[in-house]
Chains A and B, each alone.
Chain A
Amino acid sequence: MTMLDDETLQMYVEESREHLESIESDLLAIEQMGEDIDEELVNKVFRAAHSMKGGAGFLGLNTIKELAHKIENVLDMIRNRELVPNPEIVNILLLAFDRLAELIDNIQESNEMDISEHVTALMSITSGSLPELEKESVIEVEIKDRQDRVVFTVKEFDLNQAKKGGKFIYLLEFDLIHDIHKKDKQPYEVIKDIQSTGEIVDIKLDLDAVGTLEDGKFSNKIPLYVLYASIIEPDIFNTLLNLPEEQIKLIEIDESKSIVESKEADFGQREDTGETEEVMDIEEEEQGHLIEEEIESRVREQAVESGPKEQVQATRPVASSPKVKPASLAKKVSPSKSTVHTDAQPAASMHAETLRVHVSLLENLMNLAGELVLSRNQLMQAISQGDEHEILNAGQRIDLVTSELQEAIMLTRMQPVGNIFNKFPRVVRDLARDLGKEIELILEGKEVELDKTIIEGLSDPLTHLVRNSADHGIESPEERIAKGKNPTGKIILKAYHAAGQVNIEIKDDGRGIDAEKIVNKAIEKGLITEEQAKGMNEKEKLNLIFLPGLSTAEKISDVSGRGVGMDVVKSNLDKLGGQVDIETAKDKGTTIRIKLPLTLAIIPSLLVSVGEERFAIPQVNVDELIEVPASQVEERIEKVGDADVLILRGELIPLLSLAEILGLKEYKEESSFADKYKSKGGSVKVVIAQAGSFKYGLVVDQLHDSVEIVVKPLGRHFKNCQGYAGATIMGDGKVALILDVVGLARLAELSAINVEDKVEDRDKVEQTGEEYHTLFLFNNAPGEYCAVPLDLVARVELIKASDIEVVGGKKVIQYRGGSLPIFALEEVANVGHLELEGDLVVIVFVMSGHEVGLLANPPVDAMETNVKIDDFALKQPGIAGSTIINDRTTLVVDIFEFFETLNPEWFKERKEAVEEIKKEGERKVLLVEDSDFFRNQVKKFIEAEGYKVVAAEDGQVAWDYLNEHPDEISVVVTDIEMPNMDGFELTKLIKESPNFSHLPVIALTSLAGEEDVEKGRQVGIDDYQIKLDKEKLLQSIYNFLTKKAA
C-alpha cells in the first residue's frame, strides 16, 4: 500500500497531537461550566475526537478508532444535553484522552495496546444514562453495499446517534486509485474534507477488493468504504463530494423494526425546492472548502427553521426511490473474502521531529537568503575589481543581512511557553482532587516565546515545581480557613521578559518553605554538619533544598516525596542555562523564580585567555570582573586551609586558577598564590563566576571583550570532559572552548559546602582578630580622603556640577522625579572646600525617612578594613575620627552628627518623646560591645539621646553587671561577636533567667550579620540593628521602652 505511507501516518499523528493539545483545557472548561454547556466548546472536543477516529479508521488503527469512537459517543450525549458533564465524567474523558495520546505516541503498537478499561468506563457512562429503550437497541446492524456485500457491522445505537439532528446516513465508496490518486488528492485530505461536512461513523479500507494474482484479472481499484452521516441532503450530496452517484448509497434505518433497509438515492432527480436552489447557487460558484462550510451552515440554518425531525420526514421520500442495483458494475470487484485487513500499518519507524513554522517566516528567510546571495555576489565582484569602497559596502550589507538572518532563524525555533503551561490546569486539577484541596491556577504570559530546546527541557522541572506547590505549598481548605486565608489556594504560573531573559515564576499562597526544616533534614541526612548550618543565612538554608538526596515531604505520597526532587529540577535548569531563586514567607507563600536565556544557540559570553588559549564564559555565569592591583595582592588574597580565597567586600571567594585546573601551566606545590595567579602586569584578574548557589573566582591571564557566540556541541570523544559547555568559532576562524563554570568547580572539587567550610574556617580566624567593616571611600576636597560605613549608604549617583540647582539657599538635584537636597561636608565640618565643578558624586543616605545627599569627589571605592578608628586626633563635628586606609589618613564621617547638625528638626520629634519617657524615671541602657571604637561611638549617641548608658566589654561582664544591679537596666544593646561570652550566649542567659527575661535585647551586627539573624531569633533577640545605624537603633530603643511603658 503505497498510499498508507509513512507520510500519511505522520500527518495523522501530528494532527492528532494538535487536536489533543487543546482538549485538556477544553474539557476542564466544560467541567467548570457544568450544566451550562458551551456547545461550541463541546463541539470542538467532539470534532477532535471525531477526526481522530476518522483518520484512525482509514489507517487501520482500530484501537484508536474504537477508543475515539467511545469518547465521541459520550461527547455527543453531552452535546445533546443528554448528559451533564460532572467531574466524574470529565475525569473518565480526560483519562481516555490520555490513553488516546499514548496510543498516538506509540502508533505502531497501538493496535496491540489495551484500552478495555477506558472503553468500559466510557460505555458505562453512555449506557448508564440512556433511556431503557435505547439501551436495548444495542443491536448490531449490517450495512451492505450495492452488491449486497456486508461492508460494515455497526451497532444500531451508533447509527441512531449519528442520525440525530436530521442527518442522513450514507455509505460512500471511494476508490483510492480513481477517485483520489488520479485526481491528485491525498487520501487523508479527502477524509478531512468530508469530515468538515459531516461525521464519519465508520471507515474501512477494503484490501480484499483489490484481488490477488490468482484471481486472474486484477481489479484496478482500491475501495475505501466510509459510513457517513451528514446533514446534507441526498440530492446535492454527490456534487459536494465529487463522487459518482453509484458510489454513494443512502442508508435508511427503520427504527421501529430495527431493520436496516438500504435504499438508493436518486441523485439524478433533484427537487426544485427553494432550499436546494439556494444551495445550488452556491455550488455554482466553484467549490472550495469555505463554500462547503457555508453550505453546511446554511443547511443547518434551514434545518433549524423547519425543525430537524420534520425535515427528515420531508426529505425521506425524495431519497427513497426503489432499490435499483447500479448499472455501473462494469468495474469488477472481486468478491469480498471474510477476513478484513486492518494491519495495513507501515512498518517503518517515525520520521524525525518536525516543527511548524509560519509561512511568512519562511518567506522572510527566503528573502534574506536571496539578499545574502546578492551581497555575496557584490562582494566577489568588488574583490575581483579591488574596489575597496565596494568591498566595505558589501561587507556592511552582509553584516546586516546576517544578523537579520540569524534573528529570523532564531524565530523559527521560538515557541510560546503556553505549550507547556497549558498542561498545568489538568495537572493541578488532578492533584487538587487527589489531595482534597481547592486550588486555582492562574496562567500568565503564555505567549512569551522561548527556544524550542528550552521549552522541551523546561517541562519536567516546571511540572515538578507546580506539583510541589500544590502538594506541599497549598494547605488543605480546613487549614487555610484556620489561618484566615481563602480556602481556595492560588498558584500563579507566570512568564515574562526581563533584562533579555525570560523569567518564569511559580508563585503560591501556601504555607511557605520552612528553612529550619530543610536544615534539620539536611543535618539528619548527613548532607551538612550542624556547624555549617549555623553559619548559613536564610537564603543559603533555602538553597539546601537543591542538594541531592533531600526531600522534605513528610509523608511519601504519589505526588512527591520520593527523595528525588529539587536537585533534579536544579540540574535540569542548569543544563538550560537557567537560574533558580526561591523566596518564601511563612504562611504567605513561596515564589520560585526561574531565569532562562531566550535561546541556547547564541549566548553572550565573556572571552578570557590563559596563555595562548582563549575561552568563553557564558555571561549569565559571570557575576563580576575583578582586577586586583599588584600592590593589593598580598592583602586581598589569602590562604585559608589549603584553599586560596579572595576577599571581596567582606565576602570570601574561593579562587581557582583556570590554567591550573586545565593543566595549562605547571606549578610547584609550594609556589605562592601570588606567583600562581599573577598575570603579566603583576595584577590578578579574576572572573567571579556564579555557579548555581555559590560563587568562586576564576583566575585568568587576560580579560577580553564580551561577544555573542554561537554554541557548537563537542564531539562524542569529549563526553567525559567536565568543564566545557561546548565550543565556538571566533571571528578569526579559530575555535575557543566554552567553559562550564559548574563543571570546572566540580573538577576542582569545589562545592557549595566546601566553600562554607572555608568561610567558616576563616570566620574563626576573624573572630580572634579585629572586626572587619566595609567602608565607602570618597574624596572631599582633592587629596582629602574620607570614608563612611558602606551599610549606611543607600545609593551613589554620578552627577555633573551643572546638575546642581540652588533653590532657596539650598542645593538640590533633580532625582527620580523629585528633588534631593544635597550638602557638602564643609557645611558642618572644618574641611577643605569642595569645588562645584565637573563630575561629582552624590552619596545618598536615608535619615529619619528623608533621602539626603552628601557631595563628594570621585573616585569612590569600597574597601574592607579592620576598623581602628582614632577618635581623638581629628575629631570634630561631623567627623567621628580618622583611620589609615591605603597608607593615607582618612576621615571617617559621622554621618548622623553631620545631618543632625544640619537639620536638627528631623530628629526633634523623638527627642521630645524621649523627654516624656524620662519623666517617668531614668532609663538605663546596657551596652555590650568589645570594640572600643564602637562602644564609644554607640554610647555617645545613646547618651546624646538622653538615656544613661552602662558599657560592658563582653557578655560576661554584662551578665555580671546585670546580676549585681538586677533592677537597673531597661534595655540591652549587645554586639554579637565578642570574646569570653558572645551576644548569643548572653541573650540566652537573659531570656532564660526569670529575673531578666522581660528585658528587650537589641543586637548590633556588623556586615556579615545576616546569617545570625535566624539564630538570634531562636535565642530570643528581639531586634537587630546595624552598628552605626544610629537612627534606627535609637528608634528601636525608643520603641522597646515605650512598648514596655505601655
Chain B
Amino acid sequence: MAEIVKRSGSFQASCFYLGEALCGIDINLIQEINKQINYTAVPHAPDYVLGIMNLRGRIVTIIDFGKKLGLGSTKVTDSTRIIIVNSQEEQIGLMVDKITDVITGKWEEVSPPPANIKGIQGRYFLGVCKSKDRKLVALLNVEEALADEGN
C-alpha cells in the first residue's frame, strides 16, 4: 500500500467489530459515535445504504458497514452503534456491530494488509496492527471503503 509508506508516527484508532472481524478507524476521522439508531429508509438507494438520519440538523447517510464491505447485513442489537465519520465534506454514519476500545500504535509497526481479512477485501485496508490484548486489528481506509461502486 502506497499510503502506508506516507504515514508515520503514532496514531489512535477506534476499534469495532463487523461480524467476526475486528476493525479500526483512525480516531481523527471520527466525529462521534452514536447509540441512537433511528433512520428513514430511502427507496431505490444502494442496498448497503440503510437510510438517512437527522443529526442535529444535518442529514447523515447511514451505511450498513458490514454489508458495504461484503460481510452481509448487520443485525441491530443492543450493542449496535453508528460511527459518524466526515468524508468528502459530508457526514456518513457507519453501522457496526460493537464498539470495543481505542488503541494506540505506530504507523511504522503496521504491517501491510493481507489480500483478505475475514471476508473483507484487502483494498479496504491500510494495514493490520495488534491491539493490547494481542488481537489483530484491521485498519480501514475509510475513503476507499465508502467509495460508491456505482461509478
Contacts and interface: CB of A to CB of B under 8 A. Distances in A.
B133 interface: no
B40 A713 contact: no
Given A716-B88, A716-B90, A721 B45 contact: yes
Interface string A21-52: 00000000000000000000000000000000
Contact of B61 (A662, A718, A723): A718
A163 to B, nearest CB: 55
A714 B49 CA distance: 12
B9 interface: no
A816 interface: no
A720 B150 contact: yes
B13 interface: no
A713 B43 contact: no
Nearest to B43: A662
A765 interface: no
Interface string B31-70: 0000000111111111001011110011111010000000
Instruction: Pick the most buried of B38, B43, B53: most chain A CB atoms within 10 A of its CB.
Output: B43
B40 A724 contact: no
B45 to A, nearest CB: 6
B92 interface: yes
B78 interface: no
Contacts of B41: 613
B44 A722 contact: yes
Contact of A734 (B49, B54, B63, B88): B54
A717 B44 CA distance: 11
Contacts of A747: 44
Interface residues of B, number: 25
A846 interface: no
Interface string A702-723: 0000000000111111111111
B3 interface: no
Contact of B59 (A613, A712, A733): A712
Nearest to A733: B54
A785 to B, nearest CB: 45
A662 to B, nearest CB: 4
B39 A735 contact: yes
A624 to B, nearest CB: 25
Nearest to A663: B43
B114 to A, nearest CB: 28
A719 B59 contact: no
Given A717-B49, A734-B54, A729 B59 contact: yes
A35 B92 CA distance: 65
A714 B44 contact: no
Instruction: Pick the most buried of B40, B46, B51: most chain A CB atoms within 10 A of its CB.
Output: B40
A714 B148 contact: no
Interface in A724-739: 724, 727, 729, 733-737
Contacts of B58: 712
Nearest to A747: B44
A160 to B, nearest CB: 56
Given A663-B43, A721-B42, A727-B52, A715 B150 contact: no
A353 to B, nearest CB: 14
A722 B150 CA distance: 14
Interface in A653-691: 662-664
B54 A715 contact: no
Contacts of B46: 717, 720
Contacts of B150: 719-720
Contacts, number: 68
Contacts of A723: 43-44
A736 B52 CA distance: 9
B92 A729 contact: no
A664 B38 CA distance: 18
Contacts of B63: 717
A723 B43 CA distance: 9
Instruction: Pick the most buried of A613, A662, A715, A736: most chain B CB atoms within 10 A of its CB.
Output: A715
Given A727-B52, A734-B54, A735-B52, A715 B44 contact: no
Instruction: Pick the most buried of B42, B60, B88, B150: most chain A CB atoms within 10 A of its CB.
Output: B42
B58 to A, nearest CB: 7
Contacts of A734: 38, 40, 54
Nearest to A727: B59
A722 B59 CA distance: 18
Interface in A1003-1046: none
Instruction: Pick the most buried of A712, A718, A747: most chain B CB atoms within 10 A of its CB.
Output: A718
Nearest to A711: B59
Contacts of B44: 662-663, 721-723, 747
Interface string B1-45: 000000000000000000000000000000000000011111111
Contacts of A720: 46, 150
Contact of A735 (B45, B49, B54, B90): B54
Contacts of A712: 58-59
Contacts of A718: 42, 45, 49, 61
Nearest to B51: A735
B88 A713 contact: no
A708 to B, nearest CB: 15
Contacts of B38: 734
A733 B49 CA distance: 20
A156 B66 CA distance: 76
B90 A715 contact: yes
B40 A735 contact: yes
Contacts of B54: 729, 733-735
A715 B87 CA distance: 10
A713 B52 CA distance: 11
A565 to B, nearest CB: 28
A736 B40 contact: yes
A737 B40 contact: yes
Interface in A716-773: 716-724, 727, 729, 733-737, 747
A159 to B, nearest CB: 53
A727 to B, nearest CB: 5
A342 to B, nearest CB: 35
A663 B51 CA distance: 15
B45 A729 contact: no
B111 to A, nearest CB: 31
B92 A715 contact: yes
Contacts of B49: 717-718
Interface in B98-151: 148, 150
B29 to A, nearest CB: 16
A715 B61 contact: yes
Nearest to B57: A729
B127 to A, nearest CB: 26
A737 B51 CA distance: 10
Given A716-B88, A717-B148, A735-B52, A724 B42 contact: yes
A490 to B, nearest CB: 47
Nearest to B38: A734
Contacts of A714: 42, 52, 59, 61
A345 to B, nearest CB: 28
Given A717-B45, A717-B63, A735 B53 contact: yes
Contacts of A717: 45-46, 49, 61, 63, 92, 148
Instruction: Pick the most buried of B45, B63, B92: most chain A CB atoms within 10 A of its CB.
Output: B45
Contacts of A716: 61, 88, 90, 148
24 contacts: A662-B43, A663-B44, A712-B58, A713-B59, A714-B52, A715-B60, A715-B92, A716-B90, A717-B46, A717-B49, A718-B42, A718-B49, A720-B46, A721-B42, A727-B52, A729-B54, A729-B57, A729-B59, A734-B54, A735-B53, A735-B54, A735-B59, A736-B40, A747-B44
Closest 5 CB pairs of A and B: A715-B61, A662-B43, A735-B40, A712-B59, A729-B54
Given A734-B54, A735-B53, 17 more contacts: A613-B40, A663-B44, A664-B43, A712-B58, A712-B59, A713-B59, A714-B61, A718-B42, A719-B148, A720-B150, A727-B59, A729-B59, A735-B39, A735-B40, A735-B51, A735-B54, A736-B40
Interface of A: 613, 662-664, 712-724, 727, 729, 733-737, 747
